[in-house]
Amino acid sequence: MANRATDKKVDAAKQIFRRHDGILRTGEALNQGIHRRTLYAMRDEGVLERLDRGLYRLADLPPLSDPDLVTVARKIPKGVICLISALHFHNITTQIPHAVSIALNRGTEPPRLAFPPIQLYWFSGEAFAAGIEQHSIESTTVRVYSAEKTLADCFKYRNKIGMDTVLEALKLYRERMKPKPRKLIEFARVCRVEKTMRPYLEVIL
């Protein structure tokens, strides 16, 4: 009898997860009426997979296309994917990100995230707010800087990520996307790198 009651609770909890695209934070699950004991039992029995501390996903769903970005977007909803991670998202780099690069508005409290590894960058004003795109990955809204804003950011952080990486991204952008020179200059001005970027744009684009 106890097992039947437990099964009913698990079935009800699975339905709640499915109504939320299969992913919930612990607090969200509790607010939806899932008992903490049921949640942890589902985790221990493999019904749920743990994406990160306090973030769970139904294990029988198709594999996430980009689980790290989904996890970061869920855990740091005010952040924006930037630099190498954004280049990778737009398919204009051969670099493999070893951490998710994420921009936060200056003054925001630093997030605590056990996994995946993240690299924080602090932007301010228009440099943070400009060029944000919203993409849906596995029904999760992921905020990513546009390719043009990302290239301007890369020129700004060229000493940190390497000029070779920046120039490769610019060439792949020309080859794989429809270049938008005006947008590139617009974001170069926002990032205060117009003088640095313009000669490369004139040669490569």
* pLDDT tier, 86 (very low <50, low <70, confident <90, very high otherwise): very high
* pLDDT tier, 88 (very low <50, low <70, confident <90, very high otherwise): very high
pLDDT at 95 over 50: yes
Q: How many CA atoms lie within 13 A of 93 on its CB side?
A: 23
109 or 163, higher pLDDT: 163
Mean pLDDT of the 126-151 span:
95
Q: What is the pLDDT of residue 157?
A: 97
Of 73, 55, 54, nearest to 65 by C-alpha is 73
* pLDDT tier, 1 (very low <50, low <70, confident <90, very high otherwise): very low
Q: What is the pLDDT of residue 27?
A: 93
What is each CA distance from 81 to 4, 120, 135, 144, 202, in whole angstroms?
45, 10, 11, 5, 27
State the Cα–Cα distance between residues 190 and 205, nearest whole angstrom. 20
pLDDT at 198 over 50: yes
97 or 150, higher pLDDT: 150
Mean pLDDT of the 177-204 span:
93
> DSSP states of 109-169 as a string?
PPP---SS-EEEEEE-THHHHTTEEEEEETTEEEEEE-HHHHHHHHHHTHHHH-HHHHHHH
Q: 39-76 pLDDT, tens per residue?
A: 999 999 999 998 878 889 999 988 777 889 999 999 99
State the Cα–Cα distance between residues 183 and 69, nearest whole angstrom. 25
* pLDDT tier, 3 (very low <50, low <70, confident <90, very high otherwise): low
Q: What is the pLDDT of residue 112?
A: 81
This prediction has a pTM of: 0.79
Q: Which residues contact 117 (CB under 8 A, 6 or more apart)?
A: 98, 99, 100
Q: What is the pLDDT of residue 4?
A: 63
Mean pLDDT of the 104-114 span:
87
Q: 141-187 pLDDT, tens per residue?
A: 999 999 999 999 999 999 999 999 999 999 999 999 999 999 999 99
Supply the mean pLDDT for the chain: 91
